[in-house]
Amino acid sequence: MVNNAATVGRSGVHDFILLRASAIILALYTLFLLSFFVTTADVTYQVWHAFFSNLSTKVFTLLALVALLVHAWIGVWQVLSDYIKPALLRGGLQFFFSVLLLGYFAAGLLTVWGV
């Protein structure tokens, strides 16, 4: 068995499971937000702020952000490994997307927790 250090789950089976789990988390988060909009008559800044001040909403949002990043990284890795054959270019693009996703994570963390 070949182990590729660039994969998140270290094997195709783990990547498959991580993709499905992250997709389920993202679907649940989407339903969570949708239920907020359906049950709230008038969404104002105060209502939205109160909704995101709740600890469970913050934790679920952070979990959804991590799931999104895992999902995106596996997808980017698969696309790059399938379509970009020169190793140097593929490595550079993987580095670029890794830094970009870490930046997104930092921005999301700062936005949700207000650190």
- Residue 71 annotated in ligand binding: yes
Q: Is 83 annotated as a binding residue?
A: yes
**CA pair distance 15, 101, nearest whole angstrom:** 17
Is residue 109 within 8 A of residue 115, CB to CB? The reply is: yes
The count of other CB atoms within 10 Å of the CB of residue 77 is 20
Tell me the binding residues: 71, 83
Tell me the binding residues for a ubiquinone: 83
Tell me the binding residues for heme: 71
